[in-house]
Structure 1
Amino acid sequence: MRAESDTYDSVIDEQPGDAAVARLALVERLQADGVLTDPRLREALSCLDRGVLLPRAYVRRSEQGTDPVVWKLLDGTHPKDRAEWQELVYSGESVLVQRDGEPLEGQVRGAVSGGRMTAMSTFTPYTVEVLQMMRIAAGHNYLDLGTGPGVSLALAAALTGPRRAGGVERDGHMAAFARNNLDRLGVGATMVAGDALDGHVPRAPYDRIHSGIGVPCLPSAWVDQLAPGGRLLTTLVTRAPSWPGHCLVTRTATGRIEAVLEGGPRGHRPLHGYTWLTAQHHLAQVADIPGRPRTTTFTPPADEAYGFWLSAAYLVPGVVRHFQADTLTVVAPEEDSWAVAHPGDGTVRVHGPRDVWAELEDVHILWTRARSPDLFHVDIPADGGPQHIASGTGTAALEWVLPPLAGCAPATRLTPASRTEEGES
């Protein structure tokens, strides 16, 4: 139900000075925080008119837990919306742009209830981190997968030069919307509608491939389309959104594929149809019934111990962390089980048929025995077989198998004795 249905078709004073100041302020924040270090990317960010790519934006107007959610669509050309819209667009936060796969050219400003957001821009500091990690040079042939509104593609095009950067977007409405806006910017980027999992054969091979969607394993098409000396970067996702992994794939000058996986504080959302777990419906129960107490000698590593938490995402499958809790709280929603730590007193409370705390204890023992790795090697068989993760070699190495693209099966921990059998299954 819309509470406001007026449109505003006339273009008001664009106030270019205000937009330029907002762009510069965003760039200066990113540089002051130590996120932005590449001078070429700084120049691209300073020149990019984000308002062309994000002309409208949804903001939440209802309290958390309200059902249905009430949104308001801000129109950057409307005098009543412009100040809030501009602050949001240049805040660096993720900007919500599409609801329920709607056509974007027909959006009407105002309030609307229900539905879910199906497209958004990426958190700007993460966009910067990704583009810097890609090491994009002028003349590189660049492919952006799951492009969305096109912010990262526009920045990449500024780094590669005209007609060297292209994007693939599954949603036809979004692809057309982004294509029109990129053309208005004149950055020389191309955009096609298609399945990002297939890459884009007509312009292959690519010096750089970036995926803005998380995948459970590496699609073979992406690897096949990577040029010698090329770099491919994507998020590897589990069913738990709590602990993402960044996978960097390189092809050597001789054609050999090398890949590593590393944890981090943030990552891209999973591909369409891949369902994340949520503990939202269990939080009230966790607060009311924290569980039976038991002693523990396990002190979980800090949040910055990304190698441990990444390992836990795979080897303690189906578990979600409740980051807003006062103490470490993890929930296995499908088993109606959880664990609540009591720091400092050597106790933990566990509830339900599954002791997720014991599983975390076991993974910590294995992770410590493997010398607390933060970086993992990814084996990508040329025949498209199961992709293996390993922290190293030897009997103490921490290992598992990535789930296939077609399903969400939990990862399987491997031992040297079981590797061959698992690989043949």
Structure 2
Amino acid sequence: MKTESGTADPAAEGRLTDAASARLALVERLQADGVLTDPRLRDALSRLDRGVLMPRAYVRRSEQGSEPVVWDLLDGAHPKDRAEWQELVYSGESVLVQRDGERLESQARGVVSGGRMTAMSTFTPYTVEVLQRMRIASGHRYLDLGTGPGVSLALAAALTGPGLAVGVERDEHMAAFVQKTLDRVGVASVVAGDALDGHAPLAPYDRIHSGIGVPCLPSAWVGQLAPGGRLLTTLATRTPSWPGHCLVTRTTGGHVEAVLEGGPRGHRPLHGYTWLTAQHHLQQIANRPGKRRPTTFAPPPDHSYGFWLAAAYLVPGVVRHFQADTLTVVAPEENSWAVAGPGDGTVRVHGPRDVWAELERVHDLWVRAGSPIAFHVDIPDDGAQQHATSGTGTAALGWELPALSATP
């Protein structure tokens, strides 16, 4: 790289070398962990300059749980910020890029207090898992919903080829900023609009990916899916603890099938959706874990995603405290919780709601249904309420999906 006088700029060349090394290191970590297996996606990750898409990033400087939160906005172009910013951008972790819906062009580096993060990138291993499951081929028409800073869209565009990938982003400031950055790294377009409407002008799409969690499948998404197409989204409940992944396929004959499975992570829910949190009850639980009683119920392991997904719907209003030493579940709105004993056949229960008994009941139903790991989602053509079920017969386990209009 040269300066305006035509001489080499060693600092700029060094930054480019550092960024290339950071990209390679991220790809190698993903491969070593067994997450990244698609060679085409590996090449796209190796080429994508994440720093262009996320030139600034927030880090938290205050203690967890303290208010107001103290944030520090790092600017990748500033010498004092560059090392920490680059480590963050290529760490693979989620990167916070927007506070309180601000205009990204007018962001100023430095410490700020309060507010909430309104845009972030997705945890990179999860982005890789999603894109590989989408099976994107060259020539596919691709729709990205809830684009955020555009990392997933840029990678998808590299797989589809020029002019075939489009993103929809609710925040006009974010949409305009991402279009400018994407123009520098690839050929994808972003439009400002409601992701729940999809993007009809370019429909139908061979692949549709939603970066936002929804309570049920919007009819616009299903209607814009081409024959032979695949749609992947997170189906979100009020708990962040046990997300569901719904894969919708349309056969070449036009028949729609949808399968819901649990997993360790998922996308955040759409704007306006309130997730439950156990944060405000943790000190109370530590001080008063509850009344001890015997139990024969041994919850299945964390990777028994079929059970935990069912619990997200059939034991509603409950969130898990994952940092606890033993299984701890909290119903924050009822001031109730259950803390499993350390393998001694006991549980401690507190509050008017016995969430442990509810988990026991759902577990019995799940086992009777054959311990299913996946559920079929029925999507009525008339827009009626959608249902999830493990199968047919009296022993099948199922539930109704919340309607979009019921979003809190």
TM-score range, shorter chain: over 0.9
Q: Find the counterpart in structure 1 of residue 168 from structure 2.
A: 168
Give the equivalent residue in structure 2 for 1:241. 240
1:255 aligns with 2:254: yes
Matches for 1:18-29 after TM superposition, within 5 Å: 18-29=18-29
Conserved 8 A contact 1:235-1:245: yes
Q: CA deviation at 1:66?
A: 1.3
Name 2:34's counterpart in structure 1. Answer: 34
Equivalent position of 1:78 in the other structure: 78
Deviates more, 1:390-399 or 1:358-367: 390-399
1:284 matched residue in structure 2: 283
Residues of 2 paired with 1:206 and 1:23: CA distance?
30
Q: Is the 8 A contact 1:59 1:96 kept in 2?
A: yes
Give the conservation status (yes or no) of the 8 Å contact 2:65–2:279.
Answer: no
Partner residue, 1:371: 370
SS at structure 2 position matched to 1:366: helix
Find the counterpart in structure 1 of residue 53 from structure 2: 53
Question: Contact (CA 8 Å) 2:338, 2:347: kept in 1 or not?
Answer: yes
Q: Answer yes or no: is the 8 Å Cα contact 1:144–1:167 preserved in 2.
A: yes
Shift of 1:119: 0.2
What aligned pairs does 1:332-347 form with structure 2 within 5 A after superposition?
332-347=331-346
Q: Does the alignment pair 1:158 with 2:158?
A: yes
> Does the residue aligned with 1:231 lie in a helix, a strand or coil?
strand
Q: Counterpart in 2 of 1:134?
A: 134
TM-score, normalisation: structure 2: 0.96
Partner Cα distance (1:138, 1:312) in 2 = 39
Map Cα deviations across residues 192-228 of structure 1 (whole Å, 9 max, x no partner): 0000000000000000000000000000000000000
Q: Following TM superposition, by how much is the alpha carbon of 1:279 offset from its aligned partner in structure 2, in angstroms?
A: 1.1
Provide the rounded CA distance (Å) in 2 between the counterparts of 1:343 and 1:89.
39
1: CA distance between counterparts of 2:27 and 2:261? Answer: 27
**Hey, what's the Cα distance between the residues in 2 that align with 1:392 and 1:30?**
36
Instruction: Note if 1:327 corresponds to 2:316.
Output: no
Q: SS in structure 2 opposite 1:377?
A: strand
Q: Distance in 1 between matches of 2:187 and 2:65?
A: 43
Q: Cα distance, 1:77 vs. partner?
A: 0.2
* Identical positions, percent: 81
Count of residue pairs the alignment pairs up: 398
Letter in 2 for 1:367: W
Distance 1:98 1:114 in 2: 13
Contact 1:12 1:77 in 2 (8 A): no
**Match of 1:20, as an amino acid?**
A
- How does the TM-score come out when normalised to structure 1? 0.93
Report the CA distance between 1:344 and its aligned residue: 2.0
Cα distance in 2 between the residues matched to 1:352 and 1:88: 41
Secondary structure (helix, strand or coil) at the match of 2:405 reads coil
Partners of 1:333 and 1:100 in 2: CA distance:
26
Partner of 1:306: 305
- Structure 2 Cα separation of the partners of residues 100 and 262 of structure 1: 33
Q: Distance in 2 between matches of 1:309 and 1:144?
A: 28
Letter in 1 for 2:238: R
Identify the residue that residue 104 of structure 2 maps to in structure 1.
104
Distance 2:364 2:280 in 1: 31
Q: Deviations over 1:331-354 (max 9, x none)?
A: 000111000000321110101110
Alpha-carbon distance between aligned partners in 2 of 1:44 and 1:212, rounded to the nearest angstrom? 19
Structure 2 unmatched ranges of 5 or more: 1-9
Q: Secondary structure at the match of 1:43?
A: helix
